[in-house]
Copies of this chain bind each other. A is one copy, B any other.
Amino acid sequence: MSVAQKSSAADRAHAHIRAAIMRGELTPGRMLSENELAATLSMSRTPVRAALTRLQDEGWVTIYAQRGALVRELTADEVRESAETRQALESAGIRLAGPAQREGLAARLADNLDQQEQALLGGDVPGFAVLAMRFHRAFVELSANSMMLSIYDRLQDRQYLSILRSADRISSDPRQTIAEHRILLGHAQRGDWTAFATALDEHQARNHGHGATW
């Protein structure tokens, strides 16, 4: 499959705008014009429009009738609600996990944790954030439930920026975070899934409020 997947103009527009927001080029409060976007992307308004409505469904922008699309700010409430929802799915993932799913978990978590430590030693905060996000995503993967996973991804995706920002705030004591992660890993290695679930709840409760989940 070396041939590039032919994508529609609408998909390209969606990816472009979304990436620009994630990179921080398009900041909240910025007003987007269909004409302007169409011009920079060398396409007509039609696919741009489709992309914007999709971005609205995904929570990135708000479209005001006859006025334009506004890049949305994540409110504090939204961050909190999103974190709560993600935690709910993580807990469910643990509960739904069967032996087959649990099989390779400990090894993967251990590997991820090593990388987390290396990232911190190298001062790579964004790298650490991504790894921590993957660490938690692994719990939802346990569910073997693609619907849950897609919902989770959407939430985590949308929070990417604020998670990255909160990384700075938290980096004062990242060792504490990793220590808690290591406790989870220990339970997983021993196969004590009840203790694992309990520890995850506590871990989440401790992080409750700052928006990031790790």
Contact = CB atoms under 8 A, between A and B. Distances in A.
Contacts of A84: 92, 96, 143, 145, 148
A73 to B, nearest CB: 15
A140 to B, nearest CB: 10
Contact of A57 (B57, B81, B147): B57
A165 interface: no
A58 to B, nearest CB: 8
Given A65-B8, A89-B88, A91-B92, A147 B78 contact: yes
Interface string A3-39: 0000010000000000000000000000000000000
Contacts of A96: 84
A137 interface: no
A65 B88 CA distance: 36
Interface string A72-114: 0000001001101101110110011000000000000000000
Contacts of A78: 147
Task: Tell me whether chain A's interface is mostly helix, strand or loop, or mixed.
Answer: helix
Nearest to A146: B81
Contacts of A145: 81, 84-85
A84 B88 CA distance: 12
Interface centre among A57, A87, A88 (most CB of B within 10 A): A88
Given A8-B65, A65-B8, A91-B92, A151 B57 contact: no
A190 B121 CA distance: 52
Nearest to A10: B53
A54 interface: yes
20 contacts: A8-B65, A53-B54, A81-B145, A82-B147, A84-B92, A84-B96, A84-B143, A84-B145, A85-B89, A85-B145, A85-B147, A85-B148, A85-B151, A87-B92, A88-B88, A88-B89, A88-B92, A88-B95, A91-B91, A92-B92
The 4 closest A-B pairs by CB, nearest first: A88-B92, A81-B147, A81-B145, A85-B148
